[in-house]
Amino acid sequence: MEKLPEYSRNQLALRNGQDMDEIWVAFNGFIYDVSMSRLWRNGKHYEHWAGQDLTSELDKAPHNEMVFSKFTAIGILKK
Protein backbone atom coordinates (compact mmCIF):
# COMPACT_ATOMS: atom_id res chain seq x y z
CA MET A 1 0.00 0.00 0.00
CA GLU A 2 1.20 3.50 -0.80
CA LYS A 3 2.31 5.50 2.24
CA LEU A 4 0.01 8.39 3.09
CA PRO A 5 1.52 11.81 3.83
CA GLU A 6 1.58 12.99 7.44
CA TYR A 7 0.07 16.32 8.45
CA SER A 8 0.34 18.23 11.71
CA ARG A 9 -2.59 19.56 13.70
CA ASN A 10 -1.67 23.05 12.49
CA GLN A 11 -1.85 21.95 8.86
CA LEU A 12 -5.17 20.25 9.58
CA ALA A 13 -6.52 23.37 11.29
CA LEU A 14 -6.12 25.41 8.09
CA ARG A 15 -8.45 23.00 6.26
CA ASN A 16 -11.45 24.08 8.29
CA GLY A 17 -13.53 25.25 5.35
CA GLN A 18 -12.80 28.92 6.08
CA ASP A 19 -9.11 29.57 5.50
CA MET A 20 -8.55 27.28 2.52
CA ASP A 21 -10.75 25.55 -0.04
CA GLU A 22 -9.99 22.05 1.23
CA ILE A 23 -12.11 20.68 4.06
CA TRP A 24 -10.44 17.99 6.15
CA VAL A 25 -11.47 16.03 9.23
CA ALA A 26 -9.29 13.70 11.29
CA PHE A 27 -10.75 10.51 12.71
CA ASN A 28 -8.90 7.59 14.36
CA GLY A 29 -5.50 8.81 13.16
CA PHE A 30 -6.48 9.31 9.54
CA ILE A 31 -7.35 12.53 7.73
CA TYR A 32 -10.33 12.55 5.38
CA ASP A 33 -11.12 15.11 2.70
CA VAL A 34 -14.83 15.89 3.06
CA SER A 35 -14.77 18.83 0.61
CA MET A 36 -17.27 17.11 -1.67
CA SER A 37 -19.81 16.55 1.10
CA ARG A 38 -22.82 18.85 1.22
CA LEU A 39 -23.06 17.98 4.90
CA TRP A 40 -19.67 19.67 5.57
CA ARG A 41 -20.24 22.83 3.53
CA ASN A 42 -17.98 25.70 4.67
CA GLY A 43 -16.45 23.29 7.16
CA LYS A 44 -19.47 23.11 9.42
CA HIS A 45 -21.20 19.83 10.27
CA TYR A 46 -24.09 20.39 12.69
CA GLU A 47 -22.33 21.66 15.83
CA HIS A 48 -18.86 20.56 14.71
CA TRP A 49 -16.13 22.25 12.70
CA ALA A 50 -13.73 20.59 10.28
CA GLY A 51 -9.98 21.15 10.62
CA GLN A 52 -9.80 19.11 13.81
CA ASP A 53 -9.50 15.61 15.17
CA LEU A 54 -13.14 14.72 15.88
CA THR A 55 -12.51 11.14 17.05
CA SER A 56 -13.75 11.77 20.59
CA GLU A 57 -16.87 13.57 19.32
CA LEU A 58 -18.29 10.64 17.37
CA ASP A 59 -20.15 9.27 20.37
CA LYS A 60 -22.31 12.43 20.30
CA ALA A 61 -23.31 11.82 16.67
CA PRO A 62 -26.53 10.06 15.63
CA HIS A 63 -24.40 7.80 13.40
CA ASN A 64 -21.32 5.58 13.69
CA GLU A 65 -17.99 5.62 11.85
CA MET A 66 -19.54 3.94 8.80
CA VAL A 67 -20.17 7.49 7.53
CA PHE A 68 -16.44 7.56 6.67
CA SER A 69 -16.61 4.47 4.47
CA LYS A 70 -17.32 6.49 1.31
CA PHE A 71 -14.27 8.70 1.91
CA THR A 72 -10.67 7.67 1.25
CA ALA A 73 -8.09 8.75 3.80
CA ILE A 74 -5.77 11.35 2.27
CA GLY A 75 -3.29 11.53 5.13
CA ILE A 76 -2.19 10.55 8.61
CA LEU A 77 -2.45 12.89 11.58
CA LYS A 78 1.00 13.50 13.11
CA LYS A 79 1.19 12.54 16.77
| Cβ–Cβ under 8 Å, residues 74 and 4 | yes
CB-based contacts of 1, cutoff 8 Å, min separation 6: none
Query: Out of 13, 49, 68, 78, which residue is the one contacting ligand HEM (CB under 6 A)?
Result: 68
CA 72 – CA 70 distance, rounded (Å)? 7
CB of 62 to ligand HEM, least distance (A): 5
60 scored as a contact of ligand HEM (CB under 6 A): yes
44 scored as a contact of ligand HEM (CB under 6 A): no
CA 18 – CA 29 distance, rounded (Å)? 23
41 scored as a contact of ligand HEM (CB under 6 A): no
User: Which residues in this chain contact ligand HEM in the complex, by CB under 6 A?
Assistant: 25, 27, 34, 37, 39, 45-48, 54, 57-58, 60-63, 67-68, 70
